[in-house]
Structure 1
């Protein structure tokens, strides 16, 4: 597995940042655009109303806002932004001709992250905006670290809790079938005891990498949710059964042919899989489905291991004949 290139990600993030400039003076908008256009996406608006609509559409990373504008001033727009759940988190820098300390205090009290007086120095504006965007970048990286497992670089349990609910609600709205399940590495404790935890980490990375690639081919996703336990989901397609996808995942581990001489039943590392095929509906939840997947997993673990157990439910959550491989 190739290490994640954080510097490359940082440069890509810079190119993707969007700055929304709101000022009723065209000259000011042109100047701001000239300062930032070479490094960031710049959106210019000449009124508070137009700026609010663009903020909803563009979800900018930062907003540069004038105070003195006709119809609706910058302070009034700031209050609207902070009350909107989608926009409240966006940093706002006031760039205004108002010189009084009271106005600056008001802007900061409303939630602005900075206040720059006109006429402004280009270098100072650039430096301050870059500083706040760097804070945003670092915050985004912290969020990413919080949602990903450092060993396998897979999304973690917290990310699973977010994404599985999103996939469930989406499939429920479309009335489309999904497969949710759990993968567990067979005899992993014995592997660690025999080969050492460092080599065990290598195995987990190899398994995570190959399953991720296989599920990606079927628009699926995998998450590390425990020591040697992975959760996953994928949509059911008309041209490919759930059993086929699970077989591909199972066989991909076998094909790795990772030696496991600490057990007598097999000489290679294997996994067991428990999975549920379901059309999400109001009569059940993702938590209940995962509990059933866990039951299918332990049935495999108690039987043969190196296999999968798939339980298919109809729209009334009634069991369709069990498929075990």
Structure 2
């Protein structure tokens, strides 16, 4: 037995994901059993499936055999490197191909490590976890461009990426997804009355209230732009109606949390304090649109909430 390794996670504390690619199911199962305590494990039995999973879910690391029928590991590597969406995913080859030229070629093509079989489990674990730690460091650096400077929550770029990933997960599992749009009511009037410094402080407070109200695993809150925020709430029920009801309750809790801040707003037509309007839609994700259809419907619900008097939530089943 080898000493236990620490579970890996990114800067946000989220477990990292490893995609295991091998045409032999016993090999996939062995690696999955070895890694599952330390990372979430996805599997693919061929090169084409590996490309599909990598493009949809963007794992933190790919552990792949070279010798596979139809499309070998080097061809998969080449295809991943050619796609901007998957180019940055580190790839470790675990293969029975011992030729030094093959190892040199794989590393020259962009693989980050090359492990030859047979190999002891502690060696695999040590080298895979080392790559995951480096991947976490790279992701932490990327997170710097995904944070809204004013509020400290995710920015629009991060939201777009998160929505795409959550939609891909929802399609793979057959689950629904809830997407929300939030607008601070009468915010121009707030800035005109209290000044832009107070406006910035109010946006930071709203961001904190939204994040506090939506803090279950998978919940996502981002500043969409200006006084608008965006929400992602994963599937919350066994049926479409149950999922929509859960999303509606979460959205109402967020709306109430902002109102409870008690920030005075003398020029609001909705309430004497700062409030928000929220549009929330629950439905399936259309393949290839990255969640844009749900986002557009959430925006329509937001418009209805504002037209209905503001400081309220309007929901819809897609």
TM-score range, shorter chain: 0.5 to 0.7
| Counterpart for residue 257 of structure 1 | 262
Provide closer, same or farther for how the CA distance between residues 164 and 188 of structure 1 changes in structure 2, counting only shifts above 3 A. farther
> For 2:63 and 2:282, how far apart are their aligned partners in 1?
44
Aligned mate of 1:271, from 268, 275, 297: 275
Are the equivalent residues in 2 in contact too, given 1:182–1:297 (CA < 8 A)?
A: no
TM-score (normalizing by structure 1): 0.53
Provide closer, same or farther for how the CA distance between residues 138 and 233 of structure 1 changes in structure 2, counting only shifts above 3 A. closer
| Counterpart for residue 170 of structure 2 | 170
Aligned to 1:183, what secondary structure does the other structure show? strand
> For 1:277 and 1:115, how far apart are their aligned partners in 2?
46
Deviations 1:31-62 (A, max 9, x none): xxxxxx9xx78x9xxxxx99xx99x89x6737
Provide closer, same or farther for how the CA distance between residues 64 and 173 of structure 1 changes in structure 2, counting only shifts above 3 A. closer
Question: How do 1:211-290 and structure 2 match up within 5 A?
Answer: 211-216=210-215, 220-234=219-233, 238=242, 240=245, 245-260=250-265, 263-264=266-267, 269-277=273-281, 279-280=283-284, 285-290=293-298
1:206 Cα shift? 2.1
Provide closer, same or farther for how the CA distance between residues 155 and 115 of structure 1 changes in structure 2, counting only shifts above 3 A. same
Provide closer, same or farther for how the CA distance between residues 167 and 310 of structure 1 changes in structure 2, counting only shifts above 3 A. farther
| Counterpart for residue 146 of structure 2 | 147
Q: Can you give the 5+ residue segments of structure 2 that lack an aligned partner in the other structure? A: 1-8, 23-34, 117-123, 287-291
> For 2:102 and 2:140, how far apart are their aligned partners in 1?
34
Residues 1:190 and 2:183 are matched in the alignment: no
Are the equivalent residues in 1 in contact too, given 2:62–2:92 (CA < 8 A)?
A: yes
1:157 Cα shift? 1.8
Q: Can you give the 5+ residue segments of structure 1 that lack an aligned partner in the other structure? A: 1-7, 23-36, 44-48, 118-124, 316-325
| Counterpart for residue 157 of structure 1 | 156
Deviations 1:4-54 (A, max 9, x none): xxxx965968x968798x9xxxxxxxxxxxxxx9xx78x9xxxxx99xx99
Provide closer, same or farther for how the CA distance between residues 241 and 77 of structure 1 changes in structure 2, counting only shifts above 3 A. closer
TM-score (normalizing by structure 2): 0.54
> For 2:103 and 2:282, how far apart are their aligned partners in 1?
57
| Counterpart for residue 92 of structure 1 | 92
Aligned to 1:285, what secondary structure does the other structure show? helix
1:140 Cα shift? 1.1
> For 1:147 and 1:202, how far apart are their aligned partners in 2?
20
Are the equivalent residues in 2 in contact too, given 1:253–1:269 (CA < 8 A)?
A: no
Are the equivalent residues in 2 in contact too, given 1:171–1:280 (CA < 8 A)?
A: yes
Provide closer, same or farther for how the CA distance between residues 290 and 237 of structure 1 changes in structure 2, counting only shifts above 3 A. closer
Deviations 1:139-178 (A, max 9, x none): 2113333333243332322233344454598389868684
- Greater relative CO, 1 or 2 (CA 8 Å, sep 6+): 2
> For 2:125 and 2:253, how far apart are their aligned partners in 1?
52
1:229 Cα shift? 1.2
Aligned to 1:182, what secondary structure does the other structure show? strand
Deviations 1:182-206 (A, max 9, x none): 232533423661xx52x54433222
Provide closer, same or farther for how the CA distance between residues 78 and 211 of structure 1 changes in structure 2, counting only shifts above 3 A. same
Are the equivalent residues in 1 in contact too, given 2:10–2:136 (CA < 8 A)?
A: no
1:277 Cα shift? 4.4
Provide closer, same or farther for how the CA distance between residues 145 and 297 of structure 1 changes in structure 2, counting only shifts above 3 A. farther
Provide closer, same or farther for how the CA distance between residues 78 and 296 of structure 1 changes in structure 2, counting only shifts above 3 A. same
Aligned-pair Cα RMSD in Å: 6.2
